[in-house]
Structure 1
Amino acid sequence: MVVSAEQRRPVVVLYERIVDAIHAGTYPPGSTLPSEPKLAAELGVSRPALREALLLLQEDGLLSVRRGVGRTVNDGPPRRGFEHIQPLEELIGGGGQVRVRALLRTVEEPTDFTTQHLLAPARSELRFWESLLTAESAAAALSQEWAASGDVLERAHPGFARALDEEPATGRASMLAVLAGASRSVPLSAHSGVTATLVGQRRGEQLGRPADTPAVLITQVVRAGDTPILAAKHMLPTGAAALPVLQSN
């Protein structure tokens, strides 16, 4: 199934419109959103599209559902992105039992994404891991992670390079978990972004979801000093285990 731009547009645009309204104070922290019929009429959208956008906002930490009250805006709603460096498998579901299954462990040349975020020159070799995270036997996230080239890691974080070499190809940990374990005495910094999207055909097959399932896409870059050493994309479909959004001030 090919998902057109028109199919993508309603949920994604609604998500962004409501986020902007929250941060602009139209719906201040602690306030209750209008009922679905009223909000759909105010925004001029269909209720199914609105419901999907509201679910994404709830999973993204901006809204909470209170029995007998409705959807309320969380106090101090987080800015988009989370900056705490913590493996995704530890974050999902508030630290519940999450399994990491390796789908692919390989080396590849730079893509547009890794050229931009890892500053990888053409024809360099980047380690690439693709993993499926499951919680309570259900697919919770699809994670794609790239490490900087070997020569960059040897200069910026040789401990991470060694840890990657020692990690088995059938390992049960994410690349970020390996990095965190190798960085007890190495200061790291990170920048992440969160956007709304659809899972798409290929990722939908991996996650066991229809291609038009709404999802949260997280991009993340981790640095050792000023050097980017890991870049990642994490796809979390609606209905998966909750992901707390943590934000540094």
Structure 2
Amino acid sequence: MSGQQRRPVVVLYERIADAIHDGTYPPGSTLPSEPKLATELGVSRPALREALLLLQEDGLLTVRRGVGRTVNDRPPRRGFELLRPLEELLSPAAPLRVRALLRALEEPTDFTTQHLLAPAGCELHFWESVLVGDGTPAALSHEWAAPEPVLEAARPAFAAALRTALSEPPASMLAVLSRHSRGLPLTAHSSVSATLLGRRRGEQLGRPADTPAVLITQVVRVGETPVLAAKHMLPTGAPALPVTHSF
């Protein structure tokens, strides 16, 4: 997944969203005109216009006649406001069923080394799951937990739950973490990009390899400690993911 490139408009969207959230364009401010902003960002006006439309749809910008594009007073936070398992977000009325494909221990990858600060030679819990609704696969999830000593220090109940997970009904790793963190703070940072399923993931989801999909990368922290990292693949036709109440 790391080798797949994101569309330029997605990268541009994220650049502007980051500028909004870091205060470069504060709430209530007006963005520069399209020609000026395109020059500042070094991009074409068609690409900029597409990114601005996406930002408007996602609630970060509002177009005001005679004024231009202004930053909303309360734009959705990057990383999402509400931390909830994907199976609940995609189907709030009746959570999707989690079908466990793999529950294993594995050595760190480049992804988990970067996001979970996992040292070489350690073992991480890895869960691969398909989320199913109405008998149809809706999403594919890969989730990794931080090394055991980190979990024991940050959330010992979560560490214990992972060790006994095979004896429990299938659930996502985030659902297990949330269950053992009630009343305790969890934060997350997530990013979204466009991609294609590819052959293996297409087979797991019952879709052609060239099916467009949304790839969500997520890191969950207890305080400043990353305890869970995940990649979620949502193919075209999956239930819509809420923008301002995401995971």
- Structures share a fold, TM > 0.5? yes
Alpha-carbon distance change, 177 to 211 in structure 1, aligned in 2, over 3 angstroms: same
Q: Write the deviation string for residues 59-116 of structure 1: whole angstroms up to 9, x where unpaired.
A: xx739xxxxxxxxxxx877465424210111000344341100000000000000000
Give the structure 2 partner of residue 202 of structure 1: 200
- For residues 140-170 of structure 1, what are the alpha-carbon distances to aligned partners after superposition, in whole Å with 9 as ceiling and x for unaligned? 1000000011111111110111121222267
- How many residues align? The count is 204
Q: Which letter does structure 2 place at the counterpart of 1:230? A: L
Give identity over the alignment, percent: 60
How far apart, in 2, do the equivalents of 1:141 and 1:153 lie?
27
Matched, 1:91 2:97: no
Deviation, 1:201, is: 1.5
Stretches of structure 2 lacking an aligned partner (at least 5 in a row): 21-30, 35-44, 60-71
Q: Offset at 1:15?
A: 5.1
Aligned CA distance change for structure 1 residues 21 and 232 (closer, same or farther; 3 Å): closer
1:82 equivalent in alignment to 2:80: yes
Q: Which has the higher contact order (CA 8 A, sep 6+)?
A: 1
| Structural RMSD (CA) | 3.2
CA contact (8 A) 2:79 2:188 kept: no
Q: Which residue of 1 aligns with 2:217?
A: 219
> Is 1:110–1:121's contact at 8 Å kept on the other side of the alignment?
yes
What does residue 114 of structure 1 align with?
Answer: 112
For 2:224, the aligned partner's letter is: D
Partner residue, 1:192: 190
1:62 corresponds to which residue? 58
Which residue of structure 2 aligns with residue 237 of structure 1?
A: 235
Whole-Å separation in 2 of the counterparts to 1:101 and 1:228 = 25
- More off after superposition, 183-192 vs 96-105: 183-192
In 2, the alpha carbon distance for the partners of 1:128 and 1:239 equals: 27
Deviations 1:165-211 (A, max 9, x none): 22226742100000000011432111111111111111111111111
